[in-house]
Amino acid sequence: MTLKGQSAVEFIMLVSMSLFLLLSLVTISTQHQEQLQIHSSLVEAQKVAQDISFQAEMALVQGDYYHREFVVPNRIGSQNYTLYIVPSTVVVELERDGNVTMPSLYAGNTISHQVETDQNDLKIVHNDTGIHLHEQ
């Protein structure tokens, strides 16, 4: 009878240790996945900032009456975001993961644009009053 009791206790200990290890693995995996998602969002935000910087610089170089249409993503990861074009910098402000900046030659007034999920077609215009960003 004592062998059966000892076997049951050993089995319960083995199952408990296995569940503890499984729980630890799931926790570590979840944390790693969250970090990868944040990194992915920041990389995508940097690509958007680079594209916006290029568009602003093209408008600056081409001069008056230049206009160009382009598309930005509806969301970055699962987040809404705001674009800011400030003198010498483009900023993409994410809802949760912070800001990404990209240097730019732009030296005009600050331009900001909140990207909505259904309004991602933009037009950059350089006219006699400066560079402007418009929704299509």
pLDDT at 14: 93
Strand segments (E) across 30-136 = 66-71, 81-86, 89-94, 99-103, 111-115, 121-127, 130-135
Model pTM score: 0.77
In angstroms, rounded to a whole number, what is the distance separating the alpha carbons of residues 90 and 84? 6
Q: List 81's β-bridge partners, or say none.
A: 94, 115
CA gap 58, 43 in Å, rounded: 23
pLDDT tens per residue, range 44-84: 999 999 999 999 889 888 888 899 999 999 889 888 899 99
**CA–CA distance from 46 to each of 73, 102, 119 (Å)?**
12, 7, 20
pLDDT at position 26, please?
93
Distance (Å, whole) CA 99 – CA 94: 6
pLDDT of residue 13: 93
Q: Which residue is it, tokens 């170089």?
A: 61
pLDDT of res. 1: 53
pLDDT reported for residue 131:
85
Q: What is the pLDDT of residue 42?
A: 92
In angstroms, the CA 61 to CA 75 distance is: 29
Tens-digit pLDDT profile for residues 114-135: 887 776 788 888 888 888 888 8
